[in-house]
Amino acid sequence: MNKTTLAACFGLLVIAAQAQTSYNAVYFKGTKGFLLSDSGKVYRSADAGASWTGKTAKDSAYCTGVNFPSEKVGYIVGLGTILKTTDGGDTWTSPKKTGTWLSQVHFISDDIGVAVGIGVIMRTTDGGATWSTEVPHSSQGGLQTYNDVFFTGSDAGYLVGLDGWIRKSSDQGDNWDSLTSPTAHDLQAVHFPTASVGYAVGDSGTIIKTSNAGASWAVQASGSTKELHDVFFVDANTGWAVGGFTSSVILKTSNGGATWAPQANPGNFGLSSVSFLDANKGWAVGGFGTLLMTVDGGLHWGLITPSAVRGVARSSRGLRQAEGQVEYALARDARVEARLLDARGRTVSELFSGSQSAGSHTLALPARGPSAGAYLLDFRADGERRTLTLRP
């Protein structure tokens, strides 16, 4: 597609007044699309992303995961809340206050679903009216964090999280068994295009694949050392992985991951989420207004990026934890506030408050105990909020 035609297509994508908004997730159910922003708005498209309308849903101030088991019924999760719609996203209710951070949700029917996050696996069998809770612990004794959940059908589901953890359920999420993982890197996302074939991605360019429903996994050569935050496949062979820290990274495979190739894109910020309608049309979104769209399978990507802060993308993405500190970069001068939160969202300590100039910065972290996996860094730059799960 020539640049003139591509620009005309992307001209339809402008979402008004979003100069300071980050997008945490993009999701499509058929031609109906949803964008979660950290401004508290849920954007909806009824025409395969050609146009979007947004509204502030109740208790949606910071949400990162969305899933629709059917056309009308959908769920959103985030910091301290679970939202539900029964009218396709026109209205949202808040049937459950969780008191903890949830990163993702997946329902296998209107009533049966699982949500995961920091130190918790939650399951409902009655459409969110009630939830059972499992509190998983890591081998170090702290609370185990799971970043993503995905069900391949009516029974089989998978969880991925810190330290390369993978778990599988064969009974709709009622019980979970640990699987042997080929990596110790944190895994951020998992996607199964078929019941047998699945992929997971994570830190340091990690991509792993199973061809036997999780019985074994193999590391694939991604060709990247960047953090990968999400993965999406349209069939067993064709898929994309996205991520990055201060720049957008998009990788594509057309041969089941035998090879991965980077796709050129104009993004200046880390990408947090990717979703495709078919093998050609897809979206990738991320930090501070980054909206990317392709209509040719990623050969060309169009960008709308009213950026504010560099190096910050969806929850536990973008902010980079190093030894005893967190690294980040500001695209311009900004007022920065940072504090330490526990798993229930309560302030443990104030870490920093003040103005900082554009450029790279570090933030010293206090010493923490063995349950450090249950803590979050709450980071804001000119009011824009990002969070990072702190590791021991």
Which of the 8 DSSP states describes residue 9?
H
**Where does the pLDDT of residue 389 fall: very low under 50, low under 70, confident under 90, or very high at 90 and above?**
confident
Q: DSSP secondary-structure letter at 4? A: H
In the predicted structure, residue 17 carries a pLDDT above the cut 50: no
DSSP notation for 196-253: S-EEEEEGGG-EEEESSTTS--EEE--S--S-EEEEEESSSS-EEEEE-SSS-EEEEE
Report the distance separating Cα 382 and Cα 159, nearest Å. Answer: 34
Query: What pLDDT does 315 receive?
Result: 32
The set of residues, in sequence order, having a beta carbon less than 8 Å from that of 33 and lying 6+ positions away, is 26, 27, 44, 45, 48, 49, 52, 275, 283
User: Rounded to an integer, what distance in angstroms lies between the CA atom of residue 136 and that of residue 295?
Assistant: 41
User: Rounded distance, CA 208 to CA 201, Å?
Assistant: 6
Return the half-sphere exposure (C-beta side, CA atoms, 13 A cut-off) of residue 162.
24
Q: What angle (nearest 5°) sits at the alpha carbon of residue 146, between those of residues 142 and 147?
A: 135
Amino acid at 190: V
Q: Residue 297 — very low, low, confident or very high, per pLDDT cuts 50/70/90?
A: very high
Q: How confident is the model at residue 391 (pLDDT cuts 50, 70, 90)?
A: low
pLDDT of the residue at 381: 79
Q: Are 238 and 251 in contact (CB under 8 A)?
A: no
Structural contact between residues 84 and 126, judged by C-beta atoms closer than 8 angstroms? no
State percent of the chain over pLDDT 90.
Answer: 48
Q: What is the DSSP string of 343-383?
A: TTS-EEEEEEEEEE-SEEEEEE-----TTGGG-EEEEEETT
pLDDT of amino acid 6: 29
Would you call 103 exposed, middle or buried from its count of C-beta atoms within 10 A (0-12, 13-18, 19+)? buried
Q: What is the pTM assigned to this prediction?
A: 0.78
By residue count, the chain amounts to 392
The per-residue pLDDT for range 192-243, each reduced to its tens digit, is: 999 999 999 999 999 999 999 999 999 999 999 999 999 999 999 999 999 9
Predicted confidence (pLDDT) per residue in 249-281, tens digit: 999 999 999 999 999 988 777 899 999 999 999
Supply the pLDDT for residue 198.
98
The Cα–Cα gap between 46 and 54 comes to 12
387 has pLDDT over 60: yes
Tens of pLDDT, residue by residue over 177-186, are: 999 999 999 9
Helix count and strand count (H, E) for the chain: 1, 33
Q: Which domains does the chain have, with CATH numbers?
A: 22-304 (2.130.10.10), 320-389 (2.60.40.3110)
Query: Is the pLDDT at 7 greater than 50, yes or no?
Result: no
- Supply 244's token pair: 């990055």
pLDDT at 320 over 80: no
Q: Using CA atoms, how far apart are residues 318 and 244, in angstroms rounded to an integer?
A: 7
Q: Of 231, 298, 238, 239, which is closest to residue 267 (Cα–Cα)?
A: 298
